[in-house]
C-alpha cells in the first residue's frame, strides 16, 4: 500500500486546508490594544504584497507595487502632506516667476544620501538628466517635455538638459518653454528624485539592486522574488524620523497566506484580502476602527492595441466598449469594485450632466461590429471576428476574474478571447511593448491629484515608446494631443477643466480602452501600529508609521487574549502531522 | 486481457475488497464524467448574476437552479465539477496510454537488445531514461507547460504523456530480459520467427500484466499532475473548468464558502484513491506472489 499512502499525502492538503481554515467563518481578533501613545522609535514593520516588485530604480519603476517602496526609499523636491496637499519636501522654498516659466528650488541644508554624501543642486540636475536621458526607458518622460531643451536632450542630440540650471550649491532653477499647471506635481514623482552618483549618467540595469537616494529608509536587501528589507537612514534630514528601525516587504505572498501571517502577527499591516476575508474583517466587531478604505484614485479598463488588427478599426473598439458591462463585476468583489464609465474619477473632474460615457449597450455593440464589417448573428452564433484574440491578465488577481466575465460578454458580439495569465512583471513587459499585445487588462493609479495624470501617460502620443510604453493601447490622436497640451498650458482652472473634459470625451469616443471599474483597497493594521492611514494621493505611504512597542510585544509573547481561532487551532494542532502539513503548505508553520 | 483470461485472477480480484472499492469508485467517476454534464443542464462557463448571490451577500448555496451552488464567478458548481471530471479523465487516460505505449516500446527494445549485438541501442535508451528520471517530474512538466505558453488539452496530454514513461520503460526492460531467456522464446527463434513477430506475439503479451498495473497507478498520477498544473495556473487556460483550477479559485473564498475547496478536493482524493486501489487490486490478482 506504499503508493497509496504517497497519493494520500499528496491529495490530503486541500482537504486539510478546508479543515484547518475553510470550515470556519470568523477571523482572529487584533493583537494587543489601541492606546494613544506618542511616537516612539523602534521595531521593523512587516508588510506583504501578492506580486513581485519589478524594479526599484525610480527612473523606470512606475507601477503600483514599486511606488509603495519608492515612497520609503526616496524623497523628491516636492511632496505631499498628510492631507494630500502639495508641499516642498527636499526643497526648502520654491519660487515661481510671474510668467510661470521659471521655478527656483532652494534645497534644504544638510540633506544626506544613503551613501553619506551631501545633496547639492548638481546632484538634482544629474538625477533629472539621468531619468530623461536618451538611453533611459523612462515611461513618463513626456511629463517633463516643457523643460527647455527637453526634446534635444531626450533625443540624444544635446549633451545636457539646458533648462535645468545649477544656480548655486543649493539652488536649482528649471526653465519651461511654456507654463505648465502640472509642473510642481510632476516634480513630486520619484522619476526626478535625487539619486546617488553610483546611479550613473543614464539607466543602469543593476542600480535597482543597490538603490540609493535621500529617503527615510535605505535598502538592506533586495531579493526580487522573496523580500525587500529596508533599514532606517541614519542621516535622514528630518530629525527623529523615521520612527521605525526598518521595513520588511515580503513579495509574491498569496492572499490567504497573508491572512494567516497577519493573524499570527507576522505581518503588521495588510491590504491584499481575498473576497471572503474582506467581508469577514469588515464585518468583525473586533476589528472595527482598525481599518480604512483607500481613496480610489484609479481607473481600470481593457486596452486595445490601436496599431494592430482588429483594433486599428475604431468600430471594433467601440463594439468592445459597448459590449462590456462592468456593473456585474461589482458583485464579484463587493465594496472594492465600482463600475466606471469615464476615465477621470468624478472626485477630480466633475463630468457634468451632459457627459458622454461608455455604457453597456449590446445593440449598439452589434451595430458597431456590423460597421466594422464583422457582423455577428447572436442567435445563430455566426460571424464576428474569425480569430481568437489573446487577452493579457495578471495571474491570481481580480483582473483574472474580471477577464473571465468580459470573455463571456465579448462572446455575445462575436469576439472570442483567450485569456493569457502572466506574472505581474511579465504582464508589464508584454503589455508595454510595441506591436506585441492585442488587448488585455490595464489600469492607472493617479500620480497626483490632477486630471492630466489619467490622460497623458495612457493616451498621449508622446507616451508611446517601443518598450515600457505607458500608452498600452498605442493610441495616437492629434485632436486629443492638442486638447491636452492646451489644458496643461492653461492657467485658468475652469478653462483647464473644460479642456480636460473634452480630451476625455475624445478618448471615450475613440475607445482605445473600454473603461471598466475602479478598485479600492481596504487596509487593516494591528492596534499597536500608529501614524498610518491611507494617503489621499500616495499608495501605502508608511514612512510615518510607528509602533506602540509595549503592545507589540504581545505579539512575540503570544499572550494576547484575542489571538483568535486560527492561532488556537494551530496551537492545538501542534504534534498532529495533518495540521502541520496543512499549515506548512501555507508557509505559516514555524 | 491477462486478467479476464485467467479465472483464478478474476476470483482473486473479486475477493479483494479494496480492489472492488477502487473499481466502484472508478465506475462512479466515469459515470459522473459521462453523465454529469448532460444532466447538469447548465453552461459551466456562464455566470448567473441573477441567482448567484444570496440575500446575505454570500455566494448562493445549493438550490433548485444550482444543485451545489455557484463558484466565485456565479457559475454552476455541479456543472463545472462534472466538466472538470471529463478533463481530468481524458487527460489522465490519454496521457497514460501515451506514456505506457512509449514506455513499453522503449522497454521491450531495450530489454531485447541487452547483451546482443544491438547492445548500443539498450545503452542509449537506458541512459536517456536515466536523464529523464534525473529531472523532478512535476518541475519538468511545469517548465514545459510554461514554455509552451498557450496550453491546450492536446499539449497538456502530450507533455504529461511524454515525460512520464521513464519508470515504465525500466520495468518493462527487466521483464523483457526475464522473458527473453524463457524456453518458448528460444523455440520461436529456432522455428525461424522474426524478431518483430517474437516481440509482438510473445514478449508484449507477457509484459501486459505489469503494464496494466502501472497504467492504473499512472492514471492517478496524471490526475494529480493535471490538478497541480491547473492549481498553479499553468494548465488549461480559464475559463476551462478543472478540479485543480477550482481548488485555486476556491481558496479565496474558503472562509465563507468552504465547499468551493472541499468539493473539488474530495473528487481529486476519491479519483486518486480509486485508481490506486484498482491498480493494486489488479497487481495482486495478476501476480499474487509479488506482494
Q: What DSSP line would sit under A364-392, residue for residue? A: HHHHHHHHTT--EETTTTEES-SSEEEEE
Q: How far apart are alpha carbons A161 and A146 in whole angstroms? A: 11
Q: How far apart are alpha carbons A582 and A151 in whole angstroms? A: 58
Cis peptide bond upstream of A142, omega within 30: no
Q: How far apart are alpha carbons A317 and A303 in whole angstroms? A: 9
What confidence tier does A460 reach under pLDDT thresholds 50, 70, 90?
Answer: very high
Q: In 3-state terms, what secondary structure has residue A494?
A: helix
Instruction: Give every strand in the sheet of A171-175, ordered side by side.
Output: A91-96, A102-107, A171-175, A164-166
Q: How far apart are alpha carbons A525 and A403 in whole angstroms? A: 31
Q: Does position A1 have pLDDT exceeding 70, yes or no?
A: no
Q: Which of B238, B249, B267 to mutate to test the interface with A (most CBs of A within 10 A)?
A: B238
| Strand-pair partners of A172 | A105, A166
| Chain A residues interacting with chain B (CB cutoff of 8 angstroms) | 1, 3-4, 7-8, 10-12, 14-15, 17-18, 21-27, 254-256, 274-277, 279-280, 328, 331-332, 334, 395-396, 400-401, 403-405, 407-408, 418-421
Closest residue, chain A, to B263 (C-alpha): A15
Cα of A167 vs its chain's centroid, Å: 35
Q: Is B151 touching A (CB cutoff 8 A)?
A: no
Nearest to B219 by CA among B141, B274, B181: B274
Q: Is B150 touching A (CB cutoff 8 A)?
A: yes
Q: Is B263 touching A (CB cutoff 8 A)?
A: no
Question: What's the gap in Å between the CA of B109 and the closest CA on chain A?
Answer: 28
Neighbour-count burial of A7, counting CB atoms closer than 10 A to its CB (0-12 exposed, 13-18 middle, 19+ buried): buried
Q: Is B24 touching A (CB cutoff 8 A)?
A: no
How many angstroms separate the Cα of A161 from the Cα of each of A152, A164, A168?
A: 8, 6, 17
Question: What's the gap in Å between the CA of A495 and the closest CA on chain B?
Answer: 43
Higher-confidence residue of A22 and B79: namely B79
Closest residue, chain A, to B214 (C-alpha): A3
What confidence tier does B94 reach under pLDDT thresholds 50, 70, 90?
Answer: very high
Query: Which positions in chain A touch B264 (Cβ < 8 Å)?
Result: 14
> Average pLDDT in the B59-79 region?
92
Contact B33, B93 (CB under 8 A): no
3-state secondary structure chain B: CCCCCCHHHHHHHHHCHHHHHHHHHHHHHHHHHHHHHHHHCCCCCCCCCCCCECCCCCECCCCCCCCCCECCCCCEHHHHHHHHHHHHHHHHHHHHHHHHHHHHHHHHHHHHHCCCCCHHHHHHHHHHHHHHHHCCHHHHHHHHHHHHCCCCHHHHHHHHHHCCCHHHHHHHHHHHHHHHCCHHHHHHHHCCCCHHHHHHHHHHHHHHHHHHHHHHHHHHHHHHHHHHHHHCCCCCCCCCCCHHHHHHHHHHHCCCCCHHHHHHHHHHHHHHHHHHHHHHHHHHHHCCCCC
Question: What's the gap in Å between the CA of B273 and the closest CA on chain A?
Answer: 7
Condensed to tens digits (0 to 9), the pLDDT of residues A311-367 reads 999 999 999 999 999 999 999 998 999 999 999 999 899 888 777 788 899 999 999
Nearest to A418 by CA among A459, A389, A377: A389
User: Measured over all CA atoms, what is the biggest interatomic distance in chain A, rounded to whole angstroms?
Assistant: 87
Q: Is B189 touching A (CB cutoff 8 A)?
A: no
What confidence tier does B4 reach under pLDDT thresholds 50, 70, 90?
Answer: low
Q: Does position A502 have pLDDT exceeding 90, yes or no?
A: yes
Q: Kindly state the percentage of chain A with pLDDT values over 70.
A: 90
Contact A402, A441 (CB under 8 A): yes
Q: Which of B239, B265, B273 sits opposite A407 (nearest CB)?
A: B239
Q: Which of A1, A11, A22 sits opposite B258 (nearest CB)?
A: A22
Please tell me what DSSP assigns to residue A181. Answer: T
Contact A84, A537 (CB under 8 A): yes
pLDDT, averaged across chain B: 90
Q: Which of B233, B257, B265 sits opposite A14 (nearest CB)?
A: B265
Q: Which of B58, B239, B255 sits opposite A277 (nearest CB)?
A: B255
Q: Which of B46, B220, B258 sits opposite A408 (nearest CB)?
A: B46
Q: Which of B238, B266, B272 sits opposite A404 (nearest CB)?
A: B238
ipTM of the complex as predicted? 0.87
Nearest to A114 by CA among A5, A20, A229, A231: A231
Q: Kindly state the percentage of chain B with pLDDT values over 90.
A: 59
Query: Which positions in chain B touch A392 (Cβ < 8 Å)?
Result: none
Contact A447, A453 (CB under 8 A): yes
Condensed to tens digits (0 to 9), the pLDDT of residues A237-289 reads 999 999 999 999 999 998 889 999 999 999 999 999 988 899 899 999 999 98
What confidence tier does B283 reach under pLDDT thresholds 50, 70, 90?
Answer: confident
Query: Which positions in chain B touch A255 (Cβ < 8 Å)?
Result: 252
The C-alpha cell at A498 is 473644460
The C-alpha cell at A117 is 554624501
| CA end-to-end span of chain A | 31
> Average pLDDT in the A109-131 region?
97
Query: Which positions in chain A touch B44 (Cβ < 8 Å)?
Result: none
**What angle, 0 to 180 degrees and rounded to 10, lies between the N-to-C axes of helices A2-17 and B259-286?**
170
Question: What's the gap in Å between the CA of B88 and the closest CA on chain A?
Answer: 14
Number of neighbouring beta carbons within 10 Å of residue A96: 14
Interchain proximity B239–A420, CB inside 8 Å: no
> Tell me, what's the pLDDT at A583?
30
Q: Does position A561 have pLDDT exceeding 80, yes or no?
A: no
Q: Which of A276, A284, A328, A416 to mutate to test the interface with B (most CBs of B within 10 A)?
A: A276
Condensed to tens digits (0 to 9), the pLDDT of residues A424-447 reads 889 999 999 999 999 999 999 998
Question: What's the gap in Å between the CA of A313 and the closest CA on chain B?
Answer: 26
Q: Does position A6 have pLDDT exceeding 50, yes or no?
A: no
> Tell me, what's the pLDDT at A3?
41
> Average pLDDT in the A151-155 region?
96
> Average pLDDT in the A113-131 region?
97
Amino acid at each position: 500500500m506504499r503508493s497509496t499512502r504517497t497519493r494520500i499525502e499528496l491529495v490530503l492538503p486541500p482537504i486539510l486546508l478546508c479543515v484547518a481554515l475553510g470550515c470556519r467563518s470568523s477571523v482572529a481578533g487584533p493583537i494587543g490594544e489601541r492606546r494613544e501613545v506618542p511616537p516612539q522609535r523602534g521595531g521593523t514593520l512587516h508588510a506583504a504584497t501578492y506580486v513581485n516588485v519589478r524594479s526599484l530604480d525610480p527612473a523606470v519603476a512606475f507601477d503600483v507595487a514599486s511606488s509603495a517602496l519608492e515612497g520609503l526609499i526616496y524623497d523628491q523636491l516636492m511632496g505631499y502632506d498628510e492631507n494630500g496637499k502639495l508641499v516642498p519636501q527636499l526643497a526648502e522654498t520654491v519660487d515661481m516667476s510671474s510668467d510661470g516659466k521659471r521655478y527656483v528650488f532652494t534645497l534644504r541644508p544638510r540633506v544626506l544620501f544613503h551613501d553619506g554624501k551631501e545633496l547639492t543642486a548638481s546632484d538634482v540636475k544629474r538625477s533629472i538628466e539621468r531619468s530623461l536621458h536618451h538611453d533611459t526607458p523612462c515611461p513618463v518622460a513626456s511629463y517633463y517635455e516643457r523643460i527647455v531643451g527637453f526634446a534635444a536632450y531626450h533625443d540624444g542630440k544635446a549633451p545636457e538638459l539646458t533648462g535645468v540650471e545649477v544656480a548655486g550649491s543649493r539652488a536649482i532653477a528649471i526653465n519651461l518653454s511654456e507654463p505648465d499647471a502640472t509642473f510642481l506635481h510632476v516634480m513630486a514623482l520619484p522619476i526626478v528624485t535625487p539619486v546617488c552618483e553610483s546611479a550613473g549618467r543614464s539607466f543602469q540595469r543593476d542600480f535597482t539592486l543597490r538603490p540609493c537616494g535621500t529617503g527615510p529608509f535605505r535598502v538592506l536587501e533586495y531579493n526580487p522574488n522573496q523580500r525587500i528589507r529596508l533599514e532606517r537612514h541614519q542621516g535622514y534630514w528630518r530629525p527623529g524620523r523615521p520612527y521605525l528601525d526598518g521595513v520588511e516587504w515580503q513579495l509574491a505572498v498569496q492572499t490567504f497566506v497573508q491572512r494567516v501571517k497577519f493573524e499570527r502577527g507576522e505581518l503588521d499591516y495588510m491590504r491584499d484580502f481575498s473576497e471572503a476575508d474582506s467581508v469577514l474583517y469588515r464585518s468583525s466587531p473586533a476589528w472595527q476602527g482598525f481599518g480604512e478604505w483607500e481613496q480610489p484614485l484609479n481607473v481600470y479598463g481593457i486596452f486595445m492595441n490601436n496599431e494592430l488588427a482588429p483594433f486599428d478599426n475604431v468600430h471594433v473598439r467601440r463594439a468592445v466598449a459597448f459590449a462590456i458591462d462592468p456593473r456585474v463585476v461589482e458583485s464579484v468583489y463587493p465594496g472594492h469594485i465600482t463600475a466606471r464609465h469615464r476615465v477621470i474619477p468624478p472626485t477630480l473632474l466633475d463630468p457634468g450632466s451632459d457627459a458622454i460615457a461608455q455604457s453597456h449597450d449590446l445593440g449598439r455593440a452589434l451595430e458597431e461590429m456590423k460597421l466594422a464589417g464583422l457582423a455577428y448573428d447572436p442567435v445563430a452564433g455566426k460571424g464576428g471576428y474569425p480569430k481568437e484574440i489573446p487577452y493579457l491578465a495578471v495571474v491570481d488577481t481580480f483582473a483574472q476574474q474580471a477577464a473571465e466575465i468580459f470573455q463571456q460578454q465579448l462572446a455575445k458580439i462575436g469576439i472570442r478571447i483567450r485569456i493569457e495569465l502572466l506574472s505581474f512583471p511579465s504582464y508589464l513587459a508584454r503589455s508595454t511593448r510595441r506591436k506585441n499585445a492585442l488587448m488585455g487588462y490595464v489600469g492607472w493609479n493617479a500620480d497626483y491629484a490632477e486630471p492630466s495624470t489619467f490622460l497623458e501617460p495612457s493616451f498621449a502620443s508622446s507616451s508611446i515608446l517601443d518598450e515600457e510604453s505607458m500608452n498600452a493601447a498605442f493610441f495616437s490622436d492629434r485632436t486629443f494631443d492638442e486638447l491636452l497640451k492646451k489644458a496643461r498650458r492653461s492657467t485658468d482652472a475652469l478653462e483647464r477643466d473644460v479642456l480636460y473634459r473634452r480630451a476625455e470625451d475624445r478618448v471615450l469616443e475613440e475607445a482605445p480602452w473600454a473603461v471598466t471599474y475602479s478598485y479600492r483597497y481596504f487596509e487593516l493594521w494591528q492596534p499597536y501600529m500608529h501614524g498610518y492611514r491611507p494617503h489621499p494621493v500616495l499608495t501605502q505611504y508608511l514612512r510615518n508609521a510607528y509602533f506602540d512597542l509595549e503592545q507589540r510585544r504581545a505579539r512575540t509573547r503570544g499572550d494576547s487574549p484575542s489571538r483568535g481561532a486560527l492561532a488556537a487551532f494551530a496551537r492545538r494542532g501542534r504534534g498532529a502531522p495533518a495540521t502541520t502539513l496543512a499549515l506548512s503548505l501555507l508557509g505559516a508553520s514555524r | 486481457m491477462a486478467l479476464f483470461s485467467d479465472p483464478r485472477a478474476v476470483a482473486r480480484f473479486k475477493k479483494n475488497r479494496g480492489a472492488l472499492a477502487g473499481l466502484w469508485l472508478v465506475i462512479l467517476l466515469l459515470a459522473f464524467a459521462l453523465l454529469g454534464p448532460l444532466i447538469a443542464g447548465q453552461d459551466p462557463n456562464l455566470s448567473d448574476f441573477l441567482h448567484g448571490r444570496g440575500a446575505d451577500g454570500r455566494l448562493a448555496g445549493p438550490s433548485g437552479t444550482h444543485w451545489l451552488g455557484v463558484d466565485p464567478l456565479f457559475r454552476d458548481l455541479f456543472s463545472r465539477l462534472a466538466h472538470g471530471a471529463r478533463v481530468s479523465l481524458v487527460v489522465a487516460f490519454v496521457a497514460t496510454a501515451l506514456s505506457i505505449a512509449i514506455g513499453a516500446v522503449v522497454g521491450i527494445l531495450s530489454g531485447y537488445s541487452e547483451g546482443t549485438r544491438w547492445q548500443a541501442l539498450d545503452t542509449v535508451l537506458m541512459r536517456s531514461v536515466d536523464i529523464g528520471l534525473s529531472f523532478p517530474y512535476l518541475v519538468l512538466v511545469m517548465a514545459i507547460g510554461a514554455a509552451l505558453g498557450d496550453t491546450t488539452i492536446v499539449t497538456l496530454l502530450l507533455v504529461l504523456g511524454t515525460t512520464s514513461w521513464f519508470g515504465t520503460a525500466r520495468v518493462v526492460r527487466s521483464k523483457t530480459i526475464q522473458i527473453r531467456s524463457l524456453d518458448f522464446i528460444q523455440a520461436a527463434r529456432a522455428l525461424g520467427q522474426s524478431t518483430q513477430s517474437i516481440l509482438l506475439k510473445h514478449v508484449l503479451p507477457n509484459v501486459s500484466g505489469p503494464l496494466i498495473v502501472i497504467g492504473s497507478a499512472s492514471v492517478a498520477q496524471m490526475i494529480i499532475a493535471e490538478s497541480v498544473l491547473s492549481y498553479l495556473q499553468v494548465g488549461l487556460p480559464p475559463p476551462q473548468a478543472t478540479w485543480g483550477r477550482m481548488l485555486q479559485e476556491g481558496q479565496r473564498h474558503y472562509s465563507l464558502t468552504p465547499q468551493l475547496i472541499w468539493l473539488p478536493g474530495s473528487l481529486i482524493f476519491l479519483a486518486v484513491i480509486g485508481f490506486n486501489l484498482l491498480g493494486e487490486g489488479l497487481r495482486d490478482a495478476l501476480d499474487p506472489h509479488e506482494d
